Structure 1
Amino acid sequence: MLSSPSLPFHTARILGGGLIGRLLALQLARAGCQVELFEAQGPDAQGAAARVAAAMLAPLAESAIAPLPVVRMGQYGLERWPELLAQLDAPVFFQREGTLLLWHRQDATEAARFTQTLARTQAAEPTLPAMQALHGEAVTALEPSLERRFARGVLLPGEGQLDNRALLAALHSTLAAMPNVQLHWHSPRAPEDFALPAEGERLIDCRGLGARAHWPASHALRGVRGEVARVHAPEVTLTRPTRLVHPRYPIYIAPKPDHLFVIGATEIESDDLSPPSVRSTLELLSAAYAVHPGFAEARILEIATQSRPTLPDNLPALRWLAPRMLQVNGLYRHGFMISPAMLDATLEQLAAPRAGTRTPLAERFNLNLFTPE
């Protein structure tokens, strides 16, 4: 894990109060900086992709669509999250009971393709815990409420999740109590609203899609729409994130405290934030019902959409917009999984003797690091 860097500045302005903005504000304040955080929305993170996310920490499961640098950032995050959570003034649900992959018999071919992809990731990254193939009795032993509905499954040990909304709230309350932090909610700001930072100052832009106009065409930000359902299901007991492998609508079910479940997620190349369609909602909820019939009596608390900030290669990046002005963006669908790695890589970059230095974590994660064009 990263030791506290010696920072060559004493004042930091952070634009964007989503997940990475709040994490960065906390670490800089703990390092002794005077921190100002500017956010267009309120402290409840309405409008932030982090509020809608399921907050699963599943590097091997995500390797079905994510390259190795993201997997390595996810592994790093699993170890780093307990340290970050210990800094907060309120407890946040966090667990590492693994990810359970399930499929119906008719989808065995798709499941074989999926697990082969994960096996290739394990071969390339042998530090990942080995997958565990499960037969019916073993599936039921892990999740008794499934009652032998699945003849086969796979456990990905060590993967985890946390409660995204509890985390955002705890970050807010912790920051609000710090004397060297000023929080400016409902205060949209752009880099041009400030003078070029002086030697002892830094400006860090963490606005996600709000920063789109400040990224060049060569690294253009785009939105990728996701849709999730939040339901209360007292008749369902699942202890770990569960993914249904399906060729048309694969879903995840992320259990939160008190029988709250987050079910997702469609993925659409669009930054449209209109309400979900009837079709996508039916597919999400029907697939959840196919995993556990107790979802039939669940109460729908929310059907939410959000657009995740994504760069052309679907990888995160750090970019120096100008001297002493750094941008953090492109966390895509992996925000909670990779944010600890991006946080610490950002702190290393801010502590480096010159902008664009290839720091140890930038090298470890093969991180995209851009200087002004």
Structure 2
Amino acid sequence: MAGGMLAPWCERESAEQPVLDLGRDAADWWDSVLSGRVTRAGTLVVAAPRDTGELDRFASRTSGHRRVDEDEIALLEPDLAGRFRRGLLFPDEAHLDPRQAMAALHDRLAATGVEFHFGTNARHVSGFDRQIDCTGMAAVDDRLRGVRGEMLILRTPDVSLSRAVRLLHPRFPLYVVPRADTQFMIGATMVESQSAGPVTARSMMELLGAAYALHPAFGEAEIVETGVGVRPAFPDNLPRVEARGTTVTINGLYRHGFLLAPAMARQAAELVFSHDKPPGARQ
């Protein structure tokens, strides 16, 4: 259910500085590994005229942006022309389609000889020198808590967006990420819960209402899919890479999975291979 937004500067609004530090190179990494699958058009943040205070607050808590007026918003996103007077453009941010990215990563790794065993209980696997545990909420770790997220996939040919757009609101801020085939990912709620049950009526109404506020044509869009996921988070909402015997764990990526995955994987690799070196070897 991931949005696939590579938006470290926007995320800094509610996240700690390490999220920006670890995520600022994510778009470059994904683009180098999956060339042509990353859309590097930035992020546009807007707010209704009555919520411009939210825009000022967002600007004060972030960096890497410039203010845009109604005319520039119309140039950036013609379908939003005349709807918003002010906004923020984060030009260095990007987004990707998570499902396409995962499929492409699978194919690339399989081509190098990596074996995949889906539906296998990894706790019963043995005979390896090192194990990397990336099991999220399935991990045995009492420090983790679940943060439920709900999203929708809408389809409409009547809206066209070139980049991820965030609509600020005091109660339910929204992001819309364009996908292929006139589809849009609408998300996402954040509920302190480990329930992975279906999308609630309240969440669906809030997401659809916010999408309609961004552009009325979303009111006639098809609901292609609803999705729910439980994000693993530590108390400080920051990820951890830790060694436990022969196992290296990566967990607690919270709502920043695709954004922080390259940095976390790099840390895990360094931890694994540094342990494989003889005493006194250079790191």
> What's 2:20 paired with?
71
Instruction: Report deviation, 1:195.
Output: 4.9
SS of 1:182's equivalent in the other structure is: coil
> What's 1:104 paired with?
48
Aligned CA distance change for structure 1 residues 327 and 196 (closer, same or farther; 3 Å): farther
| Equivalent position to 1:152, from 86, 92, 114 | 86
Tell me if the contact between 1:99 and 1:240 (Cα under 8 Å) persists in the aligned partners. Answer: yes
SS of 1:333's equivalent in the other structure is: coil
> What's 1:280 paired with?
203
Instruction: Report deviation, 1:170.
Output: 1.5
Match status 1:316 vs 2:239: yes
Describe the superposition over 1:25-62 as per-residue Cα deviations: whole angstroms up to 9, x where unpaired.
xxxxxxxxxxxxxxxxxxxxxxxxxxx10100001110
> What's 1:29 paired with?
none
Structure-to-structure mapping, 1:1-373, within 5 angstroms: 52-86=1-35, 93-118=37-62, 122=63, 129=64, 131-179=65-113, 181-190=114-123, 193-195=124-126, 197=128, 201-211=129-139, 213=140, 215=141, 217=142, 220-322=143-245, 324-353=246-275
SS of 2:237's equivalent in the other structure is: coil
Distance 1:79 1:182 in 2: 27
SS of 1:348's equivalent in the other structure is: helix
Residue 68 of structure 1 aligns to which amino acid in structure 2?
Q
Q: Which runs of 5+ in 2 are unaligned?
A: 278-283
SS of 1:234's equivalent in the other structure is: coil
Distance 1:312 1:182 in 2: 34
What is the TM-score with the length of structure 1 in the denominator? 0.71
Describe the superposition over 1:230-283 as per-residue Cα deviations: whole angstroms up to 9, x where unpaired.
111111001010000100110000011221110001100111011111111011
SS of 2:208's equivalent in the other structure is: helix
Instruction: Report deviation, 1:174.
Output: 2.7
SS of 1:352's equivalent in the other structure is: helix
Residue 350 of structure 1 aligns to which amino acid in structure 2?
V
Instruction: Report deviation, 1:194.
Output: 4.5
Tell me if the contact between 1:232 and 1:298 (Cα under 8 Å) persists in the aligned partners. Answer: yes
Residue 74 of structure 1 aligns to which amino acid in structure 2?
G
Instruction: Report deviation, 1:340.
Output: 0.8
> What's 1:9 paired with?
none
What is the TM-score with the length of structure 2 in the denominator? 0.93
Residue 249 of structure 2 aligns to which amino acid in structure 1?
Q
Tell me if the contact between 1:205 and 1:325 (Cα under 8 Å) persists in the aligned partners. Answer: yes
SS of 2:262's equivalent in the other structure is: helix
Instruction: Report deviation, 1:172.
Output: 2.2
Tell me if the contact between 2:43 and 2:91 (Cα under 8 Å) persists in the aligned partners. Answer: yes
Distance 2:210 2:156 in 1: 15
Instruction: Report deviation, 1:318.
Output: 1.0
Tell me if the contact between 1:93 and 1:257 (Cα under 8 Å) persists in the aligned partners. Answer: no
SS of 1:296's equivalent in the other structure is: helix
SS of 2:229's equivalent in the other structure is: strand
Describe the superposition over 1:93-141 as per-residue Cα deviations: whole angstroms up to 9, x where unpaired.
31111110100111112221121111xxx3xxxxxx4x21111111111
Residue 181 of structure 2 aligns to which amino acid in structure 1?
D
Distance 2:203 2:21 in 1: 31
Residue 267 of structure 2 aligns to which amino acid in structure 1?
A
Distance 2:204 2:9 in 1: 27
Distance 2:37 2:159 in 1: 18
Residue 246 of structure 1 aligns to which amino acid in structure 2?
H
Distance 2:132 2:229 in 1: 23
Distance 1:178 1:79 in 2: 22
Residue 108 of structure 2 aligns to which amino acid in structure 1?
T
Distance 2:125 2:163 in 1: 45
SS of 1:268's equivalent in the other structure is: coil
Distance 2:182 2:45 in 1: 20
Distance 2:243 2:270 in 1: 14
